[in-house]
Amino acid sequence: MTDANDKAAAKPPALKMRYVDQAAILLMSLGEADAAEILKHMGPKEVQRIGAAMTQLQNVQQSEVQAVLANFLDEVRTLTGLGVGADNYIRKMLVTALGEDKANSLIDRILIGGNTTGLDTLKWMEARSVADIIRNEHPQIQAIVIAYLDSDQSAEILTYFPEKVRLDIMMRVASLDTVQPSALQELNDILEKQFSGNAASQTKAMGGYKVVAEIMNNLDGSIEAELMEGIKEIDEDMGNQIQDLMFVFENLKDVDDRGIQALLREVSSDVLVVALKGADDELKEKIFKNMSKRAAELLRDDLETKPPMRLADVEAAQKEILITARRMADAGEIMLGGGGDQMV
């Protein structure tokens, strides 16, 4: 009984620090050589995020460094035991650190030796260069590349293609589900003459409506509207489903203050407090600053005292607010996607 209490007491407290900041502190504490070796196994987006976090670290206390190291060691002890269940540990660690979508390609490369070397090289290149490389390839190959890369990079690449080509590529991306290893092998053979590594036996999840929606979210408004119109002309149901995915609850942080204030007038406090149980701190602060001081204090108290909610209830509340937001946007009462600075 005493041993159990001692172990519980020895467990480090939960850190009120972003995972990326913890990663930055951990890497800086390792020294340049070891940190560089770790960064070699990360993609450009992860390196950029961690690098930015490193430059922003100021006045880090020794106690904070010790807490980060203790937390890391505790995670290692909890999730794996000297190689036992290491695959599962690596998967959990990367998903926690990078998010499920960004971690998947890295997980594939580490755990199944995926055939993605050539594709990953494209992530480090300028959008114009990638467009030039795939310009004369088959549209299906172009679609695989666009689906594989991060949505913001893919959006920029699409700007270097004519309107009809953009539409064809996006329709193909929306129709993608999985890509066979042989197709990835063929694509890598095209992208690099010499390929190293064993072929993976798993299919690769890629493409679909969500990928198209994320790319569309990163496109310039005029190009996005043009593409959406073209998709709906070919398949209206597909266009509507993509449109539904294009604006999610976390995107409310991009709505201007006037739009948030107008939206809050249409949303009940009961629905709002449930929806915010699943929101990040940045969105919560966005909501608080657009309320009166008294209302913000009451909402903070409600969030702190409200017991844990079922995920389904939180998602239902968020969906209700999104329906209201889309209705108001269609009526011209608010502008979604942070377009408040646009002049007409």
Hey, how many other C-beta atoms are within 10 angstroms of the C-beta on 261? 13
Contact partners, residue 271, CB within 8 Å, separation at least 6 = 317, 320, 321
Q: What is the pLDDT, as a whole number, of residue 93?
A: 65
Cα 28 from Cα 287, distance rounded (Å): 35
Q: What angle do CA 128, 133, 135 make, to 5 degrees?
A: 85
CATH number belonging to domain 2-79: 1.10.220
For the chain, residues classed under CATH 1.10.220.30 are 117-245, 247-330
Hey, how many other C-beta atoms are within 10 angstroms of the C-beta on 98? 22
Report the CATH fold assignment for 117-245: Annexin V; domain 1 (1.10.220)
| Cα 85 to chain centroid, rounded | 26
Instruction: Read off the pLDDT of residues 2-24 as tens digits, 9 standing for 90 and up.
Output: 444 444 444 445 566 787 888 88
Q: Is the pTM of this model over 0.75?
A: no
Sort strands 178-179 and 204-205 into parallel, antiparallel or unpaired. antiparallel
Q: What is the mean pLDDT of the chain?
A: 76
Instruction: Read off the pLDDT of residues 204-213 as tens digits, 9 standing for 90 and up.
Output: 555 688 888 8
Please name every residue paired with 178 in a beta bridge, in sequence order, or none if there are none: 205
pLDDT exceeds cutoff 80 at 268: yes
Radius of gyration of the CA atoms of the chain, in A: 23
Domain 247-330 annotated CATH 1.10.220.30: yes
Most confident region among 17-31, 90-104, 277-291 by mean pLDDT: 277-291
Contact partners, residue 86, CB within 8 Å, separation at least 6 = 80
CB 261 within 8 A of CB 295: no
What is the greatest pairwise CA distance in the chain? 71
CB 161 within 8 A of CB 169: yes
Provide the residue type at 65 as one letter. Answer: V
pLDDT exceeds cutoff 90 at 169: yes
Q: What is the pLDDT, as a whole number, of residue 105?
A: 52
Q: At what angle do helices 151-158 and 163-175 cross, to 10 degrees?
A: 150
Q: Is 328 helix (H, G, I), strand (E, B) or coil?
A: helix
